[in-house]
Structure formats: C-alpha cells, structure tokens
C-alpha cells in the first residue's frame, strides 16, 4: 500500500480538516526496504526530476577512512543498532548501526537505502595481537 507524506487529517482538537488539494505523485513515500549483510545487491529508483537513487538491498563491504586513506573492508555482522534492536538479529544495516569489520567495530555514517553504499567510521579498532 502506498505511503503518503501528508499532514494529518485531524486537528489538535480531534476534528477533521478539509482537504485543500488532491494527492500529488511527489507526495508519495516508499516502504522501508532494509539493507542486509550479504553479497552486494542494488536497485535503482526514479526520484524527482528524473534522477535516480541507488538503493542497497545488501552489502558486505564498507568504505572506511583509515589514516587519511579510504579502504574497502569486509563486514561480518551487525553488532548494535539504536534504530531497532531486532535489526541486530536480522543483520540489517542502517545509518548509525555499529558493524563488525575486519578492522574492528565501525559506525555507519551513510544511508544505504538512499545512497547505495555503506560508509563507516572506526569506533573500536581490533587489536592486532589478539586476532
């Protein structure tokens, strides 16, 4: 079912508001399609002005900047996600999620569902002596 980015149909008092215009196509929203940990898959979506957004359906690589140089690092799992605790169990990547990588724990700074890539910042480096 279509989601709409419209104001509420009700006033603060609970009364109904009259519609001032009909629904427009640009006011439609989209369902949340989560990005999982797995082989990279993407989907193109048409956005306003005929532009395209790339939506990541799954990704197993994160771009992490280490000492001024960007590296592609493999993601093993999702460790923490403040958006929803169930996302950790289901390995869903969203902005703000903490993922376990080969370099250690990293916090996702991009929006995989909007940008199509996973960019992250190191939060906790893995000890080279332990690994």
96 part of a folded domain: yes
Residue 91 is encoded by which pair of tokens? 């390995």
107 part of a folded domain: yes
pLDDT value, residue 128:
60
- Rounded-to-integer distance, Cα 69 and Cα 74, Å: 16
83 part of a folded domain: yes
| Sequence-ordered list of residues with C-beta below 8 angstroms from that of 25, at least 6 positions apart, any chain | none
85 part of a folded domain: yes
105 part of a folded domain: yes
29 part of a folded domain: no
What is the domain extent for residue 61?
Answer: 34-125
Overall residue count recorded for the chain in this entry:
131
Domains identified in the chain, total number? 1
Which sign, positive or negative, has the C-alpha torsion 110, 113, 115, 117? positive
pLDDT value, residue 66:
84
Kindly report, residue by residue over 2-42, the tens digit of the pLDDT.
788 889 999 999 999 998 899 998 888 888 899 999 999 99
pLDDT value, residue 68:
85
- Rounded-to-integer distance, Cα 93 and Cα 112, Å: 7
Sheet strand arrangement including 41-46: 41-46, 52-59, 35-37, 92-93
- Rounded-to-integer distance, Cα 43 and Cα 107, Å: 23
Residue 130 has pLDDT above 60, yes or no: no
7 part of a folded domain: no
pLDDT value, residue 2:
78
Residue 105 has pLDDT above 70, yes or no: yes
Q: Between β-strands 61-66 and 69-80, what pairing exists: parallel, antiparallel or unpaired?
A: antiparallel
Percent of the chain scoring above 70 in pLDDT:
97
97 part of a folded domain: yes
What CATH number does residue 61 fall under?
Answer: 3.10.290.70
């Amino acid at each position: 079912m279509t989601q709409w980015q419209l104001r509420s149909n009700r006033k603060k008092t609970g009364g109904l508001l009259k519609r001032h215009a009909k629904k427009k196509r640009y006011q439609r929203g989209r369902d949340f399609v989560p990005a999982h940990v797995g082989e990279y898959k993407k989907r193109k979506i048409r956005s306003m002005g005929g532009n395209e957004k790339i939506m990541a359906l799954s990704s197993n690589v994160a771009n992490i900047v280490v000492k001024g140089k960007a590296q592609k690092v493999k993601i093993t799992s999702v460790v923490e996600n403040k958006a929803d605790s169930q996302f950790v169990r289901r390995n869903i990547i969203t902005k703000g999620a903490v993922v376990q990588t080969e370099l250690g724990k990293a916090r996702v700074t991009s929006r995989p569902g909007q940008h199509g890539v996973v960019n992250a910042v190191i939060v906790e480096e893995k000890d080279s002596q332990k690994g």
